[in-house]
Amino acid sequence: MNTVLDRIKICYIGGGSRNWAWVLIQDLAFEKEIAGTIHLYDLKESAARDNEIIGNRVMAENNRGRWTFSAGPSLEDALIGSDFVFISILPGDFEEMAVDVHEPEKYGIYQSVGDTAGPGGLMRALRTIPQFREIARAIKTWAPDAWVLNYTNPMSVCTRTLYREFPEIKAFGCCHEVFNTQKLLRTVLEEAGAAAGTINREEIKTRVLGINHFTWIDRASWKNIDIVPYYAEFAEKYADKGFEAPGEKNWENDYFSSAERVKLDLFRRYGLIAAAGDRHLAEFCPRSWYLANPEQVREWKFSLTPVSYRIENRKKLEAKAAAYRDGKEKLLPVHSGEEGLRIMKALLGLGNLVTNVNLPNKGQMPDFPLGPVVETNAEFSRDNIQPLVSDGLPGDIRNLTLHHLYNQEGIVEAAFGEDREKAFRVFLNDPSIQTLCRDQARELFASMTAKTLPPRHFALGG
C-alpha cells in the first residue's frame, strides 16, 4: 500500500464515462490531502482523451486538487503501479440494452431498469462477465495489490466475477441507492418536524443488509432518535397516494424518479425499509405486484425507463463533453456526496469510515451462503475492509432475495462454463420468466442471446 500520499495512482477503466468520471473529477478538485495521477482507459479512447482534457482543466482552474489526468490505449500502462482501480463500464452498447429491456415486453414482461434482475439483468450479466474476467486477469497481472472499486451493473455479478477469477483481489462494489434512501429518511424527519437543512445525510445511521438493488435497512437513527417509528407514520400517510418530493423532478416527467409507493408498500408488508429506488425494487418482486403491465406501473407511480431515452440522453452528454473539452462550458467543482473519494482516503489510513458496500459474503449475512456478493455496512481502514455482521433478513424477504442470489450464482457459473443450457435453466428460474411456458421462454432466450451476445464475448457451447 502506497504511503506517499501525493503520488497516488488511479486507473480508471471506462474512463470515457460522462457520469462517474465527471463526479470523480469534481470531487478531486476539492481534495487537499492526497494527490497524484488518474489514468483514463476506455475502449472508446477519444472519450477518455476528452476527459483527460476536462480533468486537467478543472484542476488548473480551481487550483485546489493536485491531480493529473492522462488517457492512453494500453490497459497495462494504465494498471501498472496503480493504488486504485475504478471500473465503470457499459457492457455492450445501448443497442444491446434495448434488447435486454424491450424484447421481453413482447412476452408481457415489463422491466423498469433491466440491468440487474429479470431477463435484462441476466443477459447483461452474460455479456459483462467475460469482460470482467479479462479485467480481473489484467489486474492480477499488473496491479494485484490495488484496491478495486466497481461501479458497473449488474453489481453483484460483476464483483463476484472479479473474485472468482482472481480470489486474492481487493475489490468491492459501490452503489449510491442506499444514500438516496438515507436522504429520504432525512425527509421523513423533516416531515416529522426537524428543521429543513439541519441534518446531513451522513448523520443518518443505517444498518444495511441484503443484496445490491434489493437492499434493506433494519435500523435507522439520527443522533439519539430512532427513525423507524417516524418512517412508519410516513408510510401510513403516503403509501397509497405516493410521496412527491418538492422540486422539478417527479415520476411523471422524470424516468428516474418515483413517488416511493413501492418502497412504502414494502415497508407495510415487511416492516423493513427497502433501500433502493422503486424501479429496482419492483424488479426483484413477483411481477404481479408492481410490474404486471404499464398501467399497473403508472398506478404505483414509477416508470419503465425506455432505452430510447438513454440514447437521446447520451447525445446530450456527448455534446456536453465536447463543450467541456473545448472550454465552451465549465465543469464546476461540487461535492457529489458520493463516497468514492472518502473510501480511498480511508484505505490510505486517513480516517476510518463505515459505509455500505458490496462484498463476497464471509459471514456478514449469516443466513446466506458464503461466497456470493452481498451488501452490508463495512468499516474501511488502512489497507483493510471488514464487513459488519448483520442479523440477517426476516424469512419472507430472505426467501425472495435468495431466489435472485442463487440465480446470480447460476448465471456466473453458466458464463464461466460457457454453457448455454445452464444459462437457459437459470433464465427459466427468473420469477418473471416463470410466468411463461417453456417454449415461449426458449424463444425469448434464443432471440435475446442472438441479438446481444457476440461470439467473441460469450462462445456459448451447443
Q: Which of 39, 102, 176, 335 is catalytic?
A: 176
Return the number of the residue (326 or 421) whose C-beta is nearest its own copies.
Answer: 421
The interface region with its own copies, picked from 108-116, 144-152, 178-186, 421-429 by CB under 8 A, is 421-429
Alpha-carbon distance of 155 to 213, in angstroms, equals 9
Return the number of the residue (81 or 286) whose C-beta is nearest its own copies.
Answer: 286
Alpha-carbon distance of 185 to 188, in angstroms, equals 5
The grid coordinates listed for 398 are 430472505
Q: Which ranges of 418-437 would DSSP assign to H, the alpha helix? A: 420-429
426 near its own copies, judged by CB under 8 A = yes
Alpha-carbon distance of 123 to 335, in angstroms, equals 35
Contact string (CB under 8 A) for its own copies, positions 260-279, x = contact: ---------xx---------
289 near its own copies, judged by CB under 8 A = yes
425 near its own copies, judged by CB under 8 A = yes
293 near its own copies, judged by CB under 8 A = no
Q: SS3 of 332, please?
A: coil
Return the number of the residue (51 or 376) whose C-beta is nearest its own copies.
Answer: 376
176 catalytically annotated? yes
The grid coordinates listed for 362 are 464471509
Return the number of the residue (225 or 245) whose C-beta is nearest its own copies.
Answer: 225
Strand partners of residue 209: 216
7 near its own copies, judged by CB under 8 A = no
For residue 220, the minimal CB distance to its own copies (Å) is 9
Residues 350-409 that bind its own copies (CB under 8 A): 350, 352, 354, 362-364, 366-367, 369, 377-379, 381-384, 386-390, 395-396, 398-400, 402-403, 406-407, 409
Nearest C-alpha neighbor of 441 from the set 457, 459, 426, 419: 426
Return the number of the residue (96 or 265) whose C-beta is nearest its own copies.
Answer: 265
Alpha-carbon distance of 104 to 106, in angstroms, equals 5
Neighbour count for residue 31 (Cβ, 10 Å): 17
Applying CB under 8 A, among 292, 311, 317, 323 the residue interacting with its own copies is: 292
Cis status of the peptide bond prior to 104, with omega within 30 of 0: no
| 388 Cβ contact list (under 8 Å, min separation 6) | 354, 364, 376, 377, 378, 379
Alpha-carbon distance of 408 to 148, in angstroms, equals 21
Residues 65-84 that bind its own copies (CB under 8 A): none
63 near its own copies, judged by CB under 8 A = no
Applying CB under 8 A, among 438, 443, 446, 459 the residue interacting with its own copies is: 438
CB 142 within 8 A of CB 456: no
Neighbour count for residue 177 (Cβ, 10 Å): 20
Alpha-carbon distance of 49 to 55, in angstroms, equals 10
Interacting residues toward its own copies by CB under 8 A: 1, 3, 5, 205, 207, 219, 221-226, 269-270, 286-289, 292, 296, 348-350, 352, 354, 362-364, 366-367, 369, 377-379, 381-384, 386-390, 395-396, 398-400, 402-403, 406-407, 409-410, 413, 422, 425-426, 428-429, 431, 434-438
- Could you give the residue numbers annotated as active site? 176
